[in-house]
C-alpha cells in the first residue's frame, strides 16, 4: 500500500484497520539540518520539529504489534532530542539500542571541514514492549565479509556499529552506486534523490523482526527503498509520501521491482519479480471530513 499525502493524516486513517498490526517501522525523517533543498521542510526550529515528530510517533506506537519495533534514523542535529522524545513516548525501558551506521569512505567536499569529519548516522531502536519484543538475531556470513577481512570464522554477529569493522560491508548508497542500486541507475538520470539509503540497510532492520507476510511501515517513504525491500522479502508494506517527485519515482521503481529488476538486494533474496501493490491518494479536503 503506497499512500500519497500528509503522513499525519495518513497515519490517523490507518488506525481503524491496522492498529496493533504493524510488526516493524523504519523512518528516515527530516533531520532538521537547517537546509531545505529537496522538498521537505528540513529547517524547523527545534520545538516545531519535536511537535512534528511527537504527533507522528504517538500514532506509530498505536500501530505497532505488542512484539514490534521501531527504528528512527537521524544525524547529530536532532538525535539527542529525538532520543528524549522517544523515551517519553515509548518509555525508557523500551529503548533497545543506539545503532551507529558508518556511512563509508569520505571524499570531496565532505572532507574539507576544519573539524572531525562526520561519517555516521544514528538509528534509534525501540520496542513497543521490551518484554515481548520479537528479535531475530542475524549474522554476517563469511561470503559477505569485507575483502579486507582475514578470518577463519564462518559468520560474525552483527554489532550495534554497522560498517565499522573488517567484516561488515554496509556502505552508503553513494558509495555502492556503481552497483546499479541508485534510483537514477534503475530509472532516469534526473531521478537522483538526496538521502537514499541502501536496500541492504533496510533489509537488515526488517530481517531482525519479520517473517514473510508480516506488515512493515515507513511513513517518510522518499524514493521507495522500504517498499522495494519489503516487496522483495515477501513482506506486506505501507509507505506514505507527500512529495509528487518522490511518489513518481517510487511508483516507477516498484513497477521495475515487480518486473524483476536485479539491483539492491534482489540477488540476495532470489528475487525474480511478481506481486502487486495498491496506490491511493488522500482526499484534498480530508482535513474537513
pLDDT value of position 44: 67
Say whether pLDDT at 235 is over 60: yes
pLDDT > 70? residue 174: no
The C-alpha cell that represents 237 in the structure block:
508494506
Q: Is the pLDDT of residue 160 over 90?
A: yes
Which among 91, 117, 94 is positioned nearest to 106, based on CA atoms? 117
Residue 260 has pLDDT above 90, yes or no: yes
Query: What's residue 289's pLDDT?
Result: 45
Burial (CB count <10 Å: 0-12, 13-18, 19+), residue 186: buried
Q: What is the C-alpha separation between 88 and 24, in angstroms, rounded?
A: 19
* pLDDT score of 270 more than 90: yes
The whole-number pLDDT of residue 80 equals 96
pLDDT in tens, 215-229: 999 999 998 999 999
Going by C-beta distance under 8 Å and a sequence separation of 6 or more, which residues neighbour residue 212?
A: 233, 234, 235
* Least-confidence region, from 60-74, 179-193, 240-254: 179-193
Give mean pLDDT, residues 41-50. Answer: 77
- Packing angle, helices 7-18 and 46-63, rounded to 10: 20
Tens of pLDDT, residue by residue over 104-137, are 877 666 678 899 988 999 999 999 999 999 999 9
Q: Which residue has the higher pLDDT, 46 or 202?
A: 202
Percent of the chain at pLDDT exceeding 70: 84
182-203 tens-digit pLDDT: 554 556 666 665 556 889 999 9
Rounded (5°) CA angle 266-271-272: 130
Q: What percent of the chain has pLDDT over 90?
A: 71
Smallest CA-to-CA distance from 55 within 66, 44, 65 is with 44
Please report which confidence band the pLDDT of residue 212 belongs to, taking 50, 70 and 90 as the band edges: very high
Q: What is the pLDDT of the chain when averaged over all its residues? A: 89
pLDDT number for residue 37: 44
Amino acid at each position: 500500500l503506497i499512500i500519497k499525502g500528509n503522513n499525519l493524516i495518513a497515519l490517523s486513517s490507518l488506525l481503524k484497520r491496522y492498529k496493533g498490526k504493524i510488526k516493524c517501522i523504519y523512518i528516515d525523517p527530516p533531520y532538521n539540518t537547517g537546509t531545505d533543498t529537496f522538498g521537505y521542510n528540513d529547517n524547523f526550529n527545534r520545538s516545531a520539529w519535536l511537535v512534528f515528530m511527537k504527533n507522528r510517533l504517538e500514532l506509530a506506537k498505536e500501530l505497532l504489534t505488542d512484539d514490534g519495533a521501531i527504528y528512527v534514523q537521524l544525524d547529530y542535529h536532532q538525535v539527542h532530542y529525538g532520543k528524549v522524545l522517544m523515551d517519553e513516548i515509548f518509555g525508557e525501558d523500551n529503548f533497545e539500542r543506539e545503532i551507529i551506521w558508518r556511512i563509508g569512505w569520505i571524499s570531496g567536499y565532505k572532507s574539507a571541514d576544519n573539524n572531525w569529519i562526520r561519517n555516521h548516522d544514528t538509528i534509534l531502536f525501540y520496542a513497543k514492549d521490551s518484554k515481548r519484543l520479537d528479535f531475530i538475531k542475524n549474522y554476517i556470513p563469511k561470503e559477505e565479509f569485507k575483502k579486507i577481512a582475514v578470518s577463519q570464522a564462518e559468520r560474525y554477529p552483527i554489532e550495534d556499529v554497522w560498517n565499522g569493522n573488517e567484516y561488515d560491508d554496509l556502505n552508503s548508497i553513494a558509495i555502492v552506486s556503481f552497483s546499479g542500486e541508485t534510483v537514477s541507475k534503475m530509472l532516469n538520470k534526473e531521478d537522483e534523490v538526496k538521502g537514499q539509503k541502501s536496500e541492504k540497510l533496510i533489509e537488515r532492520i526488517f530481517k531482525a523482526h519479520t517473517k514473510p507476510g508480516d506488515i512493515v511501515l515507513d511513513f517518510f517513504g522518499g524514493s521507495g527503498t522500504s517498499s522495494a525491500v519489503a516487496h522483495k522479502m515477501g513482506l506486506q508494506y505501507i509507505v506514505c509520501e507527500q512529495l509528487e517527485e518522490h511518489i513518481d519515482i517510487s511508483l516507477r521503481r516498484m513497477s521495475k521491482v515487480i518486473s524483476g529488476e536485479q539491483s539492491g538486494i534482489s540477488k540476495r533474496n532470489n528475487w525474480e519479480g511478481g506481486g502487486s501493490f495498491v496506490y491511493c491518494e488522500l482526499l484534498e479536503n480530508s482535513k474537513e471530513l
